[in-house]
Each structure stands twice: as C-alpha cells, then as structure tokens.
C-alpha cells in the first residue's frame, strides 16, 4: 500500500514547497505518530520514511501557518480499507479556505 499527498497554494497558483506534514494512525481514541515529512519542490510527499500503512484510520496534519494566517494547521482524517490500493490525499489551500479529496 502506498500513500502520497500534494499541497497546492491556490492563492499563488503554485505547489507549496517545504510544508511540514505529520502522518498519524488512530488507535482507539488516540492518534499515534508514524512519520513526519516536508513537501518537495512540487508540493508532494511520495514516501513516509518506511512507515507501515495498512487498513485503518489515519490523519495527515499539514502545518499551513506559513501560507495562511487563518489556518495554522489543517488536519485531514481518512480511512484506508484496501491496503492493496494507492491512496493520494491532496490539499488545496488559500488564505481563508481549503479543500481536499481522494486523488489518484
């Protein structure tokens, strides 16, 4: 199973380079940190440093304070049901709005 993300700075019309992102897995009611990474020059994180990701509920927390005075961070929780698939979780960010979806 693989997991990637892509962050676009919609206000500037370009990838969000160097954005910190934390990957966590839910265990009961608590979140367990698995990995941290920064987006590359294209705004992407393709690898999580060997963190094992299988079926379960996960959260990506994007440190967006450098791009938005209103949103210091954006947390996106999602469920992986089929570990054989690739999961891509993009984030489109502007100063006062954001959106996300399951990409390909």
Binding residues for substrate: 6, 44, 101
Annotated binding site: 6, 44, 101
- In contact, 33 and 21? CB cutoff 8 Å: no
For residue 61 the two structure tokens come to 């927390």
Tell me 45's DSSP state.
E
Return d(Cα 43, Cα 56) in angstroms, integer: 25
For residue 16 the two structure tokens come to 């969000």
């Amino acid at each position: 199973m693989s997991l990637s993300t892509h962050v676009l700075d919609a206000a500037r019309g370009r990838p969000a380079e160097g954005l910190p992102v934390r990957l966590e897995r839910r265990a009961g009611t608590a979140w367990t940190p698995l990995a941290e990474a920064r987006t590359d020059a294209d705004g992407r994180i393709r690898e999580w440093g060997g963190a094992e990701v299988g079926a379960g509920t996960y959260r990506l927390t994007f440190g967006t304070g450098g791009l938005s005075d209103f949103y210091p961070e954006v947390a996106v929780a999602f469920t992986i049901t089929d570990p054989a698939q690739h999961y891509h979780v993009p984030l489109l960010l502007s100063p006062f709005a954001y959106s996300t979806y399951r990409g390909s």
